[in-house]
Structure 1
Amino acid sequence: MIGLDTNILIRFFLQDDPSQNEKVTKLFARLPEIGPGYINCITLMEFAWFLRRKTKLSRSQIMEGISDLLEAEDILLEDELLVEEVLGIMVSSQVEFADTFIALRNRKAGCNLTMTFDEKAAKRIPGMELLT
Structure 2
Amino acid sequence: MIALDTAALVRYLVADHPEQSEAVRNVAESLTAENPAYVCREVLVELVRVLERSYGFSRDQIERTLLEMHVTDEIVLEEARDVLWSATHYHTGAADFSDLMIIAACLRADAALYTFDRRVAARFDGVEVIPVREGEG
Q: Same fold (TM over 0.5)?
A: yes
Secondary structure of the equivalent of 1:38? strand
Report the number of matched residues: 130
1:85 Cα deviation from its structure 2 partner:
1.7
Match of 1:58, as an amino acid? S
Corresponding residue for 1:126? Answer: 125
Which structure has the bigger radius of gyration? 2
Corresponding residue for 1:94? Answer: 93
Q: Percent identity?
A: 28
Normalized per residue, which structure has more helix? Answer: 1
1:69 to 1:33, Cα distance in 2 relative to 1, 3 A: closer
Deviation readout 1:2-34 (Å, 9 max, x if unpaired): 111111111111111101001000000011288
State the distance in 2 between where 1:88 and 1:34 align: 27
Deviation readout 1:67-86 (Å, 9 max, x if unpaired): 11112121111111221122
Check the 8 A contact 2:112/2:128 in 1, yes or no. Answer: no
Corresponding residue for 1:58? Answer: 58
Check the 8 A contact 2:63/2:88 in 1, yes or no. Answer: no
Secondary structure of the equivalent of 2:31? helix
Corresponding residue for 1:67? Answer: 67
Corresponding residue for 1:77? Answer: 77
1:101 to 1:75, Cα distance in 2 relative to 1, 3 A: same
Check the 8 A contact 1:41/1:79 in 2, yes or no. Answer: yes
Matched, 1:49 2:49: yes
